[in-house]
Each structure stands twice: as structure tokens, then as C-alpha cells.
Amino acid sequence: MKKMLLGMSLALLAACGQHTRTEKIDGTSMAEVAVFTSADKNLEKTYNWAKAMAWLYAHEGDDPVGYWYEASLPMREAFCMRDVSHQSVGGQILGMTPHNKNMFFRFAENISESKDWCSYWEINRHNKPAPADYENDSSFWYNLNANFDVMQACLKMYEWTGDAEYLENKEFVNFYDRSVSDYVERWDLQPEKAFQRARYMNTAENFDANKSFHRCRGLASYAENFPGIVMSIDLLSSLYAGFNAYAYMAEMKGETAKAEEARTKAGQYKQIVEEKFWDASQNRYNTFWTDEGAFKRGEGAPFVLWFDVTDNTERIRALVKDILSQKWNVENLSAFPMFLYKYGYLDEAYRHLITIPKMNRSEYPEVSFGMVEGIVCGAMGLQPSFSKKQIATCSRLQGAARQSSIKNVPVFGGYVSVSHTDKSTTIENNTDMDLTWEVSFMGEHPEIIVDGKKMTTSTELDANGNAYSRCLVLLRAHACAVAEVE
């Protein structure tokens, strides 16, 4: 079966390879977008492989569904809610802005009461629910994490693009509103019902637990093969992130009461993760609450980091240790470089970047998009925030990779470029906006020199104990700045 999948994937890539994207966006050809170079040729090789692979999966609006990219098992010609949510940042970096918006819109517009406020888990190029996951509104596959994963991803896309439709479009707003209200109620996802909800809910009249589209219509985890799951740490983590995203979006629209209510609810989900799922005796998180009335262990723990649930440094360290001691499939591994860099595990993050592309099933679409995000956001530390009118940079590069650059990353309707050396960072703001540049360097530096001017820094530690010094700098539109440390 593995050989068959690989063969089909290579055939797909060969067919897609006949299509190339050469049109220009604002005078910049797509070949010039998100160009990464590094003195570390292994890292550069990973990036170039990932960029080429990701673009092979992209489709340019010729299908009924519109702009889309592969975000499911190869050969399905489809995209699923989980994978798009996890591939979207990598896609944005590579210039797939219309693809992301269109796919998220398709998920949003298909939420319905007849599906108990689910959307379509997987949509194909014909703009139809993929037959592999859907039979009818009473019989289909759906992981309950999906709505909240999409909500967090939509917030990320707003922060990367500044596209107000993510906040204001009626289909998006309806999806968010329904997800935090009707959807939560229909599936008993309220904090107080976390341990009392039923394993099977909202079932068809002819419910048959032996039929996958019946028993998997409302899975309480992304882990799909573990028996008896009632609640999971990954579902709780996604609920936390979804309500948090809802709060941020409400706040940006001036809806203060709605924001406060959602943030309170997010805190309640976080409390369950931290107080109920944490096993102090084993110094690790449990992952599943089952219909046996007991905690069990399986997949799911990495989502505590993916959704940024805990701020407890000791638990983050224990969790990373726990994760690194296990074997994972490539779907999970694709996110590892990003969060390992974020939490300060630089050697481990780099090792994953270099080895994952060589692993079995590395052609799975999520892998290439994850490697792009891991290098640009993780190693290069590039993080935009339209709501703050801010760009953050922080080199976490080591060895020869300290000399690396990424040119023409699409943000805010324009581009930014960042170059790092061991003691300097150069940024170009090719957008029409004046920005605040949050510039950071590893190590304790009392001052950062920006264009010859000394700036006082603040210092913080990441979860792994690495020190970072940072300051805020005004960066004018279409301007360049250089920051240095001694």
C-alpha cells in the first residue's frame, strides 16, 4: 500500500509539474516571492525542496471550487479543514493568499444545521464534499476540532494579510458565531460537560457503529483510531484556541463584551487541560478521557504546543521531552520545527528540518508547507501582526545558517525581506504601511544599534532557557533598516 501511495503521489507531481505559475503580483514574479538563501546549503536545500513541492500542489482557479491546493491524502484532489488550517501560513509565505482565503471561505459557507453545525470536512476541486468523507448530511466523517482550528487559522491569515473580510464577511462571521454557540451546544462541548458528554451524538436514525460515516460523525479528537474517546486534549486545546481567536476578532471590531465572554470561556478550557489532563505523578499530560471513565494515553499532546495552551515553563519542557521520546507520523512531524524553534529547542528543530523531507511519506502535502513555516517563522523568526501594525524578527539560526535571508514574503498587501548574520539583521519594508519592527537577538544585549542609534533592550527567556534581547523600532513604508549587536 505504501508503494502504491508513493507511486500515485509521484504521478500527481509529474502531472502538476507541467503547470507553472509565472504571472506577477504588484510587479513581482512568483519566482521572486519568498526566496530563501543560506550559507547552510542543507537548510537551503530543504527550503527549496519544500517550496517546489508545495507549488506542485497548488491550483490556480481553473476548477469549479476556485483557487485551492492539495491538503489531504494525495490523489483525492481535495482539501480538508485540518490540513488547510495547518498549511495556511506556509501557503501565505509562498504567495498562496487567494488559495487560503477561498478554501477557508468554502468551509465557512458550508456550515449548516442539517449537519449539526459542521461544515464539509473535505472539499474537492469540483466544489463538492469529497466522497471519501461524505455520503449525506447524516452520514459523513468529521473531527470536532475542525471548526476551531479553522478559526485560529483565519485569525492568522488576517494578521498576515490585513484582509478585513476575515473579520467582516458575513459567511466568515456566521461560521465563527455558529461555532462558538450552536456547534458547541449541539455537541456538548461546553467546559462543564467535558467529562459527561456521550461518545456518539447526533446520530442517524439507522445508526450503525460499524459504519465509519456513522461512528466518525463527530470524533472528539484528531486521533481517529483510538477506541472510546469522549474528550481529548487536542479537542480541548482547539476549543481554547478557537475561543481565543473569537475574542481577538471581536475585540478588533470593538465588541468588548463578546470578547470578554469568549476569553473567559477560553480560560475555562485551558483550566481543564492544566488541572484535569496534567498527570503530576508521571510529569506529563494525559491525552484522552474515554467512555470507561478513565484517562488514557495516545496521540494529541503536540496540540498543546500547536495551540499555545500552556504557559507553564516546566510543563512545556516536560511535554517537549515526552513528544521527542515518541515516534510520530509525518502529519504531526510537519509542525514540529515551528514549535520547537518557538520554545527554544534549536538543535531539535534544525534536525527535524533536515531529516523530515527524507522520510517515508514526505510527499504528503502538509510536510512541505510545514517546512516552509518552520524555516521562515521558526528559524528566521518572522512574525507579522496587522492588528499591531508590527513585524517581528528573531534569528534562531546556528552555525553556517546564521547567514540566511528570505526575500519578498507577502504581508499586508506588500512584501518584507529579512537577512540575518551572526550579529545583524536587515529588514526591508516594501509595504505601504509604517510599521513597528520588533527586532530580537539571542543572548543578553543591553543595547541594539539600529541604523547607528543605540536602543535600550528588554530581555526574556524562552521555555528552554535561551535569552533574547529585543527593542521596538519605527520602520517607515518602503524603507530599509539594519540592527546590530556587539
pLDDT digits (tens, 9 = 90+) for 133-167: 999 999 999 999 999 999 999 999 999 999 999 99
Question: What's the CA gap between 283 and 368, in Å, rounded?
Answer: 33
pLDDT digits (tens, 9 = 90+) for 21-40: 434 445 677 789 999 999 99
**What cell numbers appear for 389 in the block?**
501594525
Reported CATH class of domain 390-484: mainly beta
Average pLDDT for 264-275: 98
Distances (CA, A) of 202 to 116, 130, 187, 188, 310: 7, 21, 8, 10, 32
pLDDT digits (tens, 9 = 90+) for 171-219: 999 999 999 999 999 999 999 999 999 999 999 999 999 999 999 999 9
Average pLDDT for 225-230: 94
Place of cell 551572526: 422
471 has a pLDDT exceeding 90: yes
pLDDT at 236: 98
Question: What's the CA gap between 427 and 450, in Å, rounded?
Answer: 11
CB 140 within 8 A of CB 121: yes
pLDDT at 99: 98
56 has a pLDDT exceeding 70: yes
How many CB atoms are located within 10 Å of the residue 460 CB? 11
pLDDT at 225: 87
Give the domain ranges of the chain. 390-484
pLDDT digits (tens, 9 = 90+) for 298-315: 999 999 999 999 999 999
5 has a pLDDT exceeding 70: no
The phi, psi pair for 225, rounded to 5°, reads -120, 10
Distances (CA, A) of 342 to 310, 339, 400, 461: 13, 5, 20, 11
The residue with greater pLDDT, 17 or 469, is 469
For residue 152, what is the enclosing H or E element?
helix 146-161
Mean pLDDT of the chain, nearest integer: 93
